[in-house]
Structure 1
Amino acid sequence: MTQNVISAIDGATGNVIENAEVVFSAEGQDVLACPTWIGGKDWEAGAYSPRTNRMYMPLRNACARMMATRDGGMDLYALAVRTEFAPGFDQLGTVQAISAETGATEWVHSQRTATMSLIATGGGLVFGGDVNGRFRAFDDETGEVLWEINLGSAVTGFPITYAVDGRQYVAVSTGTAGTASGFIRLTPEITPSAGNNLFVFGLP
């Protein structure tokens, strides 16, 4: 994931040093800030597995082209903003497995459309969807896609898992909500429906 807002973080004090190149100093100035507020890691849930001691994060390669102006449509912030792909990327969505011990990225799944919330299970799976309606099960060790289904509309809900009478289920909702509409505009060749549904799957 591309970021250029923070230049450094002092590991001893936690002091954050901002990149002066993306701090406005005059009206009319144009900057590219990465990630945008819906890029990188936003409110969509990541997951943690005590089985692997890894965090699984839906991260997006999206930046904001911003201009300091009072005529840009965002009067509260005096900004004109256009969301775009991070420089050098044509894959918007990623799922990244990150070691909770070392911070190292263990594996990355990259795809054209934005990835959304995830959940990890004790059986070695990570479930998550994207704004193109695909819902997948990943191997938590390797990132291999073990199962996939097209649910038709953007998978914007937070997946959950539960058990009834000894059988495990995974549930997730779909529908164009929240940040999904912004991500869909970045990939106009992909046209999911806007239907709202709840899907429940029984695990073998």
Structure 2
Amino acid sequence: MHEALARGAAKVYASARTPRTWDDERVVPLTLDVTDAASIQAAVEAAPDVTVLINNAGASVSSTGILTHTEEEIRRNVETNFLGPLFLARAFAPVLSAKDESVLIDMHSLLSWYAVAGIYSATKAALWSATNSLRLELAPAGVHVVGVHVGYVDTPMAAYAPEPKVDPAVLVRDVFDAVQAGQYEVLADEGSVQAKAGLSAPIEAVYPQLKAARA
């Protein structure tokens, strides 16, 4: 938000299921639950001047096994990580298409390409695929679609993880730099670079666990 304002944004809609208030009149609180169709439609009606839509909703899981998740965890991840961002993008597509040089930014994960987080990985992989589809379909209308892949970001969602984390301010800066440069994809850390490179490797190289299981 601060980075967007510093780069000249006249207004930023700060959406959340329970929005907070801000001391800057350029920041407009906006109630949004991406799992609720009525909430999405209300957001579209409240923000008809949007030119940059950032899809950043996310839910995590308590275990890494897709066989050990609860049914509620699976449904929550599918609704929040995949269907929510997809339906939000679809709802705002006419708004973005009507503007000049509009942008859709989808937040993925390096786990889009590395299936070690169960349903979380599956939903991020699905969103990555949907982003590719949206990019192709929105391009003729002049909407630039950017997919962002990153590992751990230093936010409360990743507070449990001991691994190195990307500074949110640095991530936002890199994403906006990529948008201005006309890039389609952001690999925000070395883990994401390695994960994408692994797509062309033999499956046994990507997942050495398979060799261990057969030993």
Structure-1-length-normalised TM-score: 0.26
Higher fraction of helix: 2
Higher-strand-fraction structure: 1
Larger Rg: 1
Larger relative contact order (CA 8 Å, sep ≥ 6): 2
Normalising by structure 2, we get a TM-score of 0.25
